[in-house]
Structure 1
Amino acid sequence: MQCELDGATIHYEERGEGRPIVFLHGWTLDHRLELVDYEPIFEWRAAWRRLYPDLPGMGRSTAKAGFANQDDMLAAVLAFIDRVAGGERFVLAGTSLGGYLARAVAVRRRARVAGLLLRMPAVIADTAHRTLPAFEPLVRDDALIAAVPEEERTALGNVLVQTTDYLAAARQKSRSLYQPAIAATAPLANEIRADPKRYGFSFDLTSEEKGFTAPTLIITGRQDTVVGYRDTLAILESYPRATLAVLDGADHSWPVATPHLLAPLVDDWLGRIALAERS
Structure 2
Amino acid sequence: MECKVKDISINYEVIGSGKPIVVLHGYYIDHRAMTACMEPVFNSKNDYKRIYIDLPGMGKSGSAEWITNSDIMLDIVIDFINQIIPNEKFLLVGYSYGGYLSRGIINKMANRVDGLLLLCPVIVANFKKRNNPTHIILKKDNKLLSELEPSDAEFFNSAHVIQSKRIWDRCKKEILSGIKLADSNFLANIKKNGYEFSFNVDELNEKFDKPSLILLGHQDSTVGYKDAFEILDNYPRATFGILDEAGHHLHIEQEDLFYSLVSEWITRVEES
- Give the whole-Å Cα distance in 1 for the aligned partners of 2:173 and 2:143: 24
Give unpaired runs (5+ residues) of structure 1. none
Q: Looking at both structures, which has the greater relative contact order when contacts are Cα pairs under 8 Å and sequence separation is at least 6?
A: 2
Which whole-Å CA distance do the structure 1 matches of 2:131 and 2:247 have between them? 14
Q: Partner residue of 2:180?
A: 183
Fraction of identical pairs, as percent: 34
Alpha-carbon distance, 1:171 to partner: 2.2
CA distance in 2, matches of 1:145, 1:93: 32
Task: Give the structure-2-normalised TM-score.
Answer: 0.94
Which residue matches 2:105? 105
| Contact in 2 for aligned 1:116/1:214 (Cα 8 Å) | yes
Match runs of 1:220-239 below 5 Å = 220-239=216-235
SS of the residue corresponding to residue 250 of structure 2 reads: coil
Native 8 Å contact 2:56 2:73 kept in 1 = yes
Q: Give matches, 1:79-118, under 5 Å.
A: 79-118=79-118
Distance 1:7 1:70 in 2: 17
Query: Counterpart of 1:46 in 2: which secondary structure?
Result: coil
What is the deviation of 1:258? 2.2
Shift, 1:143, TM fit: 6.4
Structure 1 segments, 4+ long, off by >3 Å, are 140-149
Q: Normalising by the residue count of structure 1, what TM-score does the alignment of the two structures yield? A: 0.91
Give the secondary-structure state (helix, strand or coil) at the position aligned to 1:116.
Answer: strand
- Give CA deviations for 1:172-221 in whole Å, capped at 9, x if unaligned: 123222222112111211221233xx001000112137511111100001
Matched positions, count: 270
Matched-pair contact (CA < 8 Å) for 2:141–2:164: no
Q: Is the 8 A contact 1:89 1:112 kept in 2?
A: yes
1:160 partner amino acid: V
Q: Which residue of 2 aligns with 1:205?
A: 201
Q: Report matched runs for 1:150-189 at 5 Å.
A: 150-156=150-156, 157-161=158-162, 166-186=163-183, 187-189=185-187
SS of residue matched to 1:193: helix
Contact 2:103 2:202 (C-alpha < 8 Å) held by counterparts: no
Q: CA deviation at 1:147?
A: 5.4
Corresponding residue for 2:238?
242
For 2:15, the aligned partner's letter is R
Q: For the residues of structure 2 that align with 1:13 and 1:158, how far apart are their CA atoms?
A: 27
Distance 1:257 1:180, change over 3 A: closer
Alignment RMSD (CA, Å) = 1.7
In structure 2, distance between residues paired with 1:48 and 1:223? 32
CA deviations 1:248-278 (Å, max 9, x no partner) are 11111122222111222112211221222xx
The answer to whether the 8 A contact 2:92-2:115 is kept is yes
> CA 1:18/1:184 → structure 2, altered by over 3 Å: closer, same or farther?
same
* Aligned position for 1:17: 17
